[in-house]
Amino acid sequence: MKTWALAIFTLKETIRTRTMIIGLALSFMYLAFVPVLSSSRSGPAVVGDMEMTTAAGRDFLGFALGGINFMGMMLAIFTTLGAIYTEVDKGTILAVVTKPVHRWQVIFGKWLGHALLMGGYALIMGIVLWAAVSIGTGTVLWRFLPAISLVCLNVIAMVSITLFFSTFLPVIANAIFVFMLFIFSSNLRIINAIGQTSDSIVIVTVANILRLLLPVSEVSDLANLSLMGKSRAAELAGAEIQTFAPRIWVFGYEMLYIVGAIMLSILVFRKKDLR
Amino acid sequence: MPAAIEIEGLTKVYGYGVDEVKAVDALELTVDQGEVFGFLGPNGAGKTTTVQMLMQIIFPTEGNGKLLGKPIGDIMAREKIGYLPELFQFHEFLRADEFLDFHARLYGIPASRRADRIASVLELVGLGESAKSKIRTFSKGMLQRIGIGQAIINEPDLLFLDEPTSALDPMGRRDVRDIILDLRDAGTTVFLNSHLLSEVEMTCTQIGILNKGKLVRVGDMESMVKPTLVVDIKVDGLNDETLERIRDLVASVEIDGDDMKVIVRDEDQVKMLARMIMDSGAEMRQFTPRKQQLEEVFLQSIEESS
């Protein structure tokens, strides 16, 4: 009950922040413009025996999924950056940690609030688009559901890692750290490509191991693959997707990654002087 | 019945090597249940650090303690402990009743009791009519009152108040003082951390004085302040012989030009003192007996310990 009270409180608090309001406004604009933005991609959409409208709907959802994934992760970062550090800095956390709650409950309640909000955001955005496409094309694309679930997982992973850094880093330092990690993990395909062209197994292996530092890019690829299918995904991404393909087990790893980030947050916060 | 607060060798050290600072140094203290304990000290003495260690906001370098008979940090004990931090910061987007509801949930107060308890606390702290107002619209006095509200929502047996009146005007101070006196009458142990001596004098039954992290004086307010009488005297032509006789008679004599401040042990000594000066033939222009103020005890304790 206490953890739940903290989670709901965090959710209510975050949803009122300027960051969240701007994020939601941008999201609605994106929803309005996504048909226009995705039209350039739906040209050669017929794959196999799939009907033209269904293929166009799938491509549309694929494009939208990428947008939801990106916006969800950005919002997750911006709304969670000061989750712990700012509360400690402002002193608002003092009245909470001195109540009969364990420190792990404070962390878990905060995480749960942010995860529910951001996971819910990605899920609702996805479901709205999915329902619209299903009605528009007359075909229900069931493959979208695992894909949007992976996007939700991605968003929650970003919440978790940002929350972890917020237990000891101020907002700006946290932002720099998380974005560096995000940009680095998103561009590992370049290192992989270098390894491929130079036939270096070492470089390719290193690139694949480094993907585990922040698995969101790989899970994004997995979500896209799950929605589009192998051939269409390869068609859209070129040869890259073949050489740097997402590993199927990465979603399980991302779940463990989330658990690990929460555990580390609790470990750091458990005996921290809050002054 | 266990003591409300038992502290053994509590120490907090900040920094390392040459930068090492002992904010609290081997503090030993016991406060019995039902007392209103005034914890005094100049700025930087370690008062807030001590309270923060007791509330486990920060962790002691050494030593330990018990609150209501349970080790510091015990979750069950905390259900009966309230705390108002110094310069309390609020989640201002909430209404007063929502704010108290959140804190009541953290105390684990069941839903069936929450609404009644919130209403009675809002009345107690004088915010009954502002229940639906946003906290961001509150004045400083109202903020302090709602802060006290969250600290007493659980009907605590032990309440820590860290500088509860420092940001308030005289009216606000009186309101807070009245709340403390109500709690004292209800048998709540109050640990009042303050540097406003008049507040402490009016509300506390015991005091402890902290300086540079060390407890330099502790005891009942009665024994530390009230029996001591001070006589302010202005006199011309007092001879050395009479002055020596006065010194032998009273507890202490401070002379500054024509002004004398004499601390006597009882009211009989006041009469004897007056007679001695009159009999010596000196010209007495002022003779004002008064009870010693806490401020004097405080300053004396700080000077001695420094």
pLDDT reading at B226 higher than 70: no
Of A12, A99, A275, nearest to B78 by CB-CB distance is A99
pLDDT of A40 above 60:
no
pLDDT of residue A133: 84
Mapping DSSP onto H, E and C, the string for chain B reads: CCCCEEEEEEEEEECCHHHCEEEEEEEEEEECCCCEEEEECCCCCCHHHHHHHHCCCCCCCEEEEEECCEECCCHHHHCCEEEECCCCCCCCCCEHHHHHHHHHHHCCCCHHHHHHHHHHHHHHCCCHHHCCCEHHHCCHHHHHHHHHHHHHCCCCCEEEEECCCCCCCHHHHHHHHHHHHHHHHCCCEEEEECCCHHHHHHHCCEEEEEECCEEEEEEEHHHHCCCCEEEEEEEECCCHHHHHHHHHHCCEEEEECCEEEEEECCHHHHHHHHHHHHHCCCEEEEEEEEECCHHHHHHHHHHHHC
Tokens of A23: 């994020």
Rounded CA-CA distance A71/A124 in Å is 13
pLDDT tens digit string along A140-174? 889 899 999 999 999 999 999 999 999 999 999 99
Task: State what percent of residues in chain A have pLDDT above 90.
Answer: 52
Q: Check residue B142 and give its pLDDT.
A: 87
Q: From the CA atom positions of chain A, what is the Rg in Å?
A: 20
Residue A134: exposure state from Cβ atoms within 10 A (0-12, 13-18, ≥19): middle
Most confident of A31-45, A220-234, B11-25: B11-25
The pLDDT of residue A29 is above 80: yes
Q: Which chain A residues have a beta carbon less than 8 Å from that of B79?
A: 100
Give the C-alpha separation, B154 to B149, whole Å: 9
Q: Residue A17, SS3?
A: coil
In tens, the pLDDT along B262-295 reads: 988 888 888 899 999 989 888 888 998 887 677 7
The one-letter code for the residue type at B51 is V
Site from B14, B21, B49, B57 to mutate, A interface, most A CB atoms within 10 angstroms:
B57
| Residue B147, pLDDT score | 92
Beta carbons of B231 and B271 less than 8 angstroms apart: no
Q: Does B52 touch chain A (CB under 8 A)?
A: yes
**Chain segment A73-110, per-residue pLDDT in tens:** 999 999 999 999 999 999 999 989 999 999 999 999 99
CB contact under 8 A, B57 and A98: yes
Is the pLDDT confidence value at A36 over 80?
no
Task: Count Cβ–Cβ pairs < 8 Å, chain A vs chain B.
Answer: 67
- Which of A139 and A117 is assigned the larger pLDDT? A117
Domain extents for chain B? 5-224, 229-305
Edge-to-edge strands, sheet with B62-67: B21-31, B5-14, B62-67, B70-71
Q: What residues in A contact B136, CB-CB < 8 Å?
A: none
Q: Which residue has the higher pLDDT, A116 or A244?
A: A116
pLDDT tens digits for B65-108?
999 999 998 999 999 999 999 878 888 889 999 999 999 999 99
d(CA B272, CA B287): 12
The pTM of the full predicted model, rounded to 2 decimals, is 0.84
What are the tokens at B49?
């650090």
Q: B17 or A241: whose pLDDT is higher?
A: B17
**Which chain A residues are closer than 8 Å to B76 by Cβ?**
100
- For residue A251, the tally of other CB atoms under 10 A from its CB is 20
Segments making up each domain of chain A, as ranges = 2-43+50-270
Query: Which residue is associated with the tokens 């009791």?
Result: B113
Q: CATH code for B5-224?
A: 3.40.50.300
Q: Does B298 touch chain A (CB under 8 A)?
A: no
Enter the tokens of residue A114.
């942010």
**Token pair 């011309």: residue:** B236
Q: For position A45, what pLDDT does the model report?
A: 46
- Closest residue, chain B, to A91 (C-alpha): B89
pLDDT at A50: 56
pLDDT digits (tens, 9 = 90+) for B114-166: 999 999 999 988 899 999 999 999 988 888 889 999 999 999 999 999 988 87
Give chain A positions within 8 Å (CB) of B112: none
Judge if B5-224 and B229-305 fold alike in CATH terms.
no
Angle made by CA atoms B120, B121, B127, in degrees to the nearest 5: 100
Distances (CA, A) of B110 to B33, B76, B103, B104, B128: 26, 15, 12, 8, 21
Q: Complex ipTM, two decimals?
A: 0.82
Q: How far is B185 from chain A, CA to nearest CA, in Å?
A: 24
Among chain B residues, the shortest Cα distance to A105 is held by B106
Given an 8 Å threshold on Cβ–Cβ distance, is A273 in contact with B58? Answer: yes
Calpha distance B242→B249 (Å, rounded):
11
Q: Give the whole-angstrom CA distance, residue B52 versus residue B83.
A: 10
Of A5, A90, A275, the CB nearest to B105: A5
| Amino acid type, A142 | W
Q: How far apart are CA B105 and CA B119, in angstroms?
A: 15
Q: For residues A58 and A49, what is the distance between their CA atoms, to the nearest angstrom? A: 14
Q: Which two tokens stand for residue B118?
A: 């919130």
Tokens at B172, concatenated: 């606000």
How close does chain B come to A131, measured CA to CA in Å? 35
Quick one: average pLDDT of B1-30?
92
Q: Using one digit for the tens of pLDDT, what is the confidence trace for B177-215?
A: 888 898 999 999 999 998 888 888 889 999 999 999 999
Cα–Cα dist B302/B304, whole Å = 5
Of A91, A95, A275, the CB nearest to B150: A95
Residue whose C-alpha is closest to residue A216's, from A240, A248, A251, A191? A251
Helices A103-137 and A52-80 pack at an angle, to 10 degrees, of: 160
B63's tokens: 């030593």
Please tell me the class of the B229-305 domain: alpha beta
Cβ proximity of A179 and A77 under 8 Å: yes
- Mean pLDDT, residues A188-205 taken together: 87
Mutate which of A2, A16, A99 to disrupt the B interface (most B C-beta within 10 Å)?
A99
β-pair partners for B264: B229
The pLDDT tens digits for A197-251 are 888 889 888 888 888 899 999 999 999 888 888 777 666 666 555 567 888 899 9
Closest CA–CA distance from residue B52 to any residue of chain A (Å) = 9
* B57: closest CA of chain A, how far (Å): 6
**What percentage of chain A has pLDDT greater than the value 70?**
88
Nearest CA in chain A to B99: A9
And the tokens for A205? 């292996």
